[in-house]
Structure 1
Amino acid sequence: MRPAPGEVLHFSEDPTITRFVPHVAATARQPDAYVWAVDHDQAPSYWFPRDCPRAMAWAGPDTTAEDRAWLGPRRVHAVEYRWLRRMQTVALYAYRFDATAFRPFGDAAHVATGPVEPLGPPERVDDLLGLHEQAGLELRLLPDLRPFWDEVTTRTLDFSGIRLRNAQPAP
Structure 2
Amino acid sequence: MRPEPGQVLHFSEDPSIERFIPHVAVTTALTEPYVWAVGPERCPDYWFPRACPRAMAWVGPATTEEDRARIVGAGCGQRVHAVEYCWLQAMRDVKLYAYRLPEAEFAPIGEPPHAVVATVPVEPLGPPEPVGDLFELHEEAGIQLRVLPNLWTFWNAVTASTLEFSGIRLRNARR
TM-score range, shorter chain: over 0.9
1:43-93 per-residue CA deviation (whole Å, 9 max, x = no partner) reads 010000000000000111111121011122330000001101100110101
Q: Distance in 2 between matches of 1:16 and 1:36?
A: 17
Which amino acid is 1:28 matched to? T
Paired position in structure 2 for 1:147: 153
Paired position in structure 1 for 2:55: 55
Paired position in structure 1 for 2:17: 17
Q: 1:82 aligned to 2:74?
A: no
Which amino acid is 1:90 matched to? V
**Percent identity over paired residues:** 64
Which amino acid is 1:138 matched to? Q
Paired position in structure 2 for 1:124: 130
1:19-62 per-residue CA deviation (whole Å, 9 max, x = no partner) reads 00000011211110000000011001000000000000011111
Q: TM-score, normalised by structure 1?
A: 0.97
1:92-114 per-residue CA deviation (whole Å, 9 max, x = no partner) reads 01000010010111221000000
Match of 1:92 among 89, 93, 96: 96
Q: Distance in 2 between matches of 1:41 and 1:62?
A: 18
Q: TM-score, normalised by structure 2?
A: 0.95
Q: Distance in 2 between matches of 1:74 and 1:86?
A: 25
Q: Distance in 1 between matches of 2:27 and 2:166?
A: 16
- Kindly tell me the number of residue pairs found equivalent between the two proteins: 169
Match of 2:172 among 154, 161, 166: 166
Paired position in structure 1 for 2:27: 27
Query: SS state of the match for residue 91, structure 2?
Result: helix
Which amino acid is 1:76 matched to? V
Query: SS state of the match for residue 66, structure 1?
Result: helix
Paired position in structure 2 for 1:7: 7
Q: 1:138 aligned to 2:144?
A: yes
Q: Which ranges of structure 2 fall in alignment gaps of 5 or more residues? A: none
Q: Distance in 2 between matches of 1:78 and 1:27?
A: 20
Deviation at 1:11, TM superposition (A): 0.2
CA RMSD of aligned residues (A): 0.7
